[in-house]
Amino acid sequence: MNRTVKTRALATVAVVALSTPLLAEDLTIGLASEPTSMDPHFHNLTPNNAMSRHIYDTLIRQDETQGLNPGLAVEWKPVDELTWEFKLREGVTYHDGSAFDADDVLCSFVRAPDVPNSPSSFASMTKGKTLKKIDDFTIHITTEAPYPLMANDVSNVPIVSSESGCDATTAAYNSGEASVGTGPFTFVSYKPGDSIVLASNPNYWGDVSPWSTVTFKPIKSGPARVAALLAGDVDVINSVPTTDIATLEGREDVGLSQGTSNRVIYLHLDHGRADSPFVKANGGGDIDNPLRKLEVRTAISKAIHRDAIVERVMEGVAIKAGQLLPNGFFGVSDQLQPVEYDPNGAKELLAAAGVPDGFELTIHGPNDRYINDAKIAEAIGQMLTRVGIKTSVETMPRSVYFQRASRGGPEGGPEFSFILVGWGSGTGEASSPLRSLIGTHDPDKGWGASNRGRYSNPEVDALIAEALQTVDSAAREKLLAQATELAIADAAIIPLHYQVNTWGVRKGFAYAPRTDEYTLATGVTKE
């Protein structure tokens, strides 16, 4: 069966099963990548954000395709060109019995962008916004210019308690002392590397979970995760290894749900430093950073055989990428296609850039964050070495990797020169990766929070800024596409592929696939 057709069929089955009611019982989920913290504002990372949605609510919820629905806000609308009004849900209580009101929203937006030692903050969602309490259940958020993406942004910011959460440390959240939200589950325990246990919140303002307790077990190894599912030790797993999908599809005791995500796997390159620490001349001597030359960045892109990565490394369960988001998302350009494999063209560009014999380079990446991440890094290392860029590969656990990639260098800047990483659009449209990955690094502005290559292009910045204040949707979409086209032409990042995600469930269970890749207990149903 054609893989695309099969993906759609599996996703449809899982969604239909959502209507089936459940009996109260325990649920166990095996996670490929566990959160780096229980602090909902510590790290804007998919595993962290997915976990926080169990304990905390946002003003606006995102559904399986990132459509927007009421959360802690029941209504929202612009009241003038610069101001949005949010009407808050009344009668909501935190897990400790305290009442939710506007003060919690105000302090959450202050805390979210400024958690100490955050590897990637929520600044792009919060900066440039001024919150004002009108009454206990009405707030206004103003910006200096019209801002049509307000609802998308606030749907990403977890709301914590002004009494127990806004002044709490990350350590207090990890211990459970401050892990008090308004969400469908309450904190029970957090043992890094072992388990996270949550209990159903009987006083939840929404639908009370049918799962009395949920245990999340981090199982980094793909084969071990599949074995745990087949043995009945877990009910659900995410990130089913691509090598096991065909085999599992033929079994009657498990089910699969699958869907394309909004995550692009890409390469970030050091645009900023003349002397980049992991770029050397042949033989290990110093070299003026060749990654700052467009010809070299383009050569690297041409040296990568994306079809081979998709077919051999990803077992056909991925889609090669030419930009920041796959087709169908807002702001995608119809002018961009994946760069074709052209090793001879790559060599010619290296010669034109003054490095005909190449240079030495280290690619750094995680080995427990993205599907087949270490294997992808190894494949890229081999491909670059074939065109003369002698590439060594170093991968590490994501808990170490992201801190070093973001803050491990001199003066707390990025450490690495050339990295494999991924990004999923939290807003479901192109401004999210444009602001976070490509916009000039500016903590005060909230831009470039994950711009670990320190790329900076005033023309791209200007297009992003114009798009963010353009109310007309068609005009805004065109501006986002133009910004993407310019950034990709400049090789700000090098897109590789979009992830296709697969969840596995025991017989009798179902899971609704999500474009944001979240694995949520609320998405698990019984048939």
Q: In order along the chain (527 residues), what is the average pLDDT of each group of 10 residues?
A: 32 34 77 96 95 98 94 96 97 98 98 93 92 98 95 96 96 97 98 97 95 97 96 97 92 94 96 97 96 98 98 96 94 96 98 97 96 97 98 95 93 95 92 96 92 97 96 95 98 97 96 94 93
Q: Which CATH superfamily is domain 262-499 in?
A: Dipeptide-binding Protein; Domain 3 (3.10.105.10)
Predicted pLDDT of residue 6? 31
* Number of other CB atoms surrounding residue 254 within 10 Å: 19
Residue 474, classified by CB atoms within 10 Å of its CB into exposed (0-12), middle (13-18) or buried (19+), is exposed
Task: Name, in order, each residue with C-beta under 8 angstroms of 233's C-beta and a sequence gap of 6 or more.
Answer: 28, 30
Nearest residue to 171 via CA among 34, 37, 35, 55: 37
Q: How many whole angstroms separate alpha carbon 409 and alpha carbon 403?
A: 10
Output the six-digit token pair for 29: 């989920």
Q: How many whole angstroms separate alpha carbon 33 and alpha carbon 45?
A: 11
Domain ranges across the chain: 59-168, 262-499
Predicted pLDDT of residue 411? 85
Task: Name, in order, each residue with C-beta under 8 angstroms of 25's C-beta and a sequence gap of 6 or more.
Answer: 210, 211, 212
Chain centroid to CA 187:
23
Task: Name, in order, each residue with C-beta under 8 angstroms of 344's C-beta and a sequence gap of 6 or more.
Answer: none
Q: Which CATH number fits domain 59-168: 3.90.1150.60, 3.90.76.10, 3.40.309.10, 3.40.50.2300?
A: 3.90.76.10
Q: How many whole angstroms separate alpha carbon 319 and alpha carbon 327?
A: 10
Predicted pLDDT of residue 514? 94
Q: How many whole angstroms separate alpha carbon 500 and alpha carbon 502?
A: 7
Task: Name, in order, each residue with C-beta under 8 angstroms of 64's C-beta and a sequence gap of 6 or more.
Answer: 15, 512, 513, 514, 515, 523
Predicted pLDDT of residue 431? 94
pTM of the model: 0.83
Residue 318's beta-bridge partner residues?
499
Output the six-digit token pair for 360: 């030495």
Output the six-digit token pair for 45: 């990372």
Predicted pLDDT of residue 24? 62
Predicted pLDDT of residue 12? 30
Q: How many whole angstroms separate alpha carbon 494 and alpha carbon 490?
A: 10
Q: Is 251 helix (H, G, I), strand (E, B) or coil?
A: coil
Predicted pLDDT of residue 427? 87
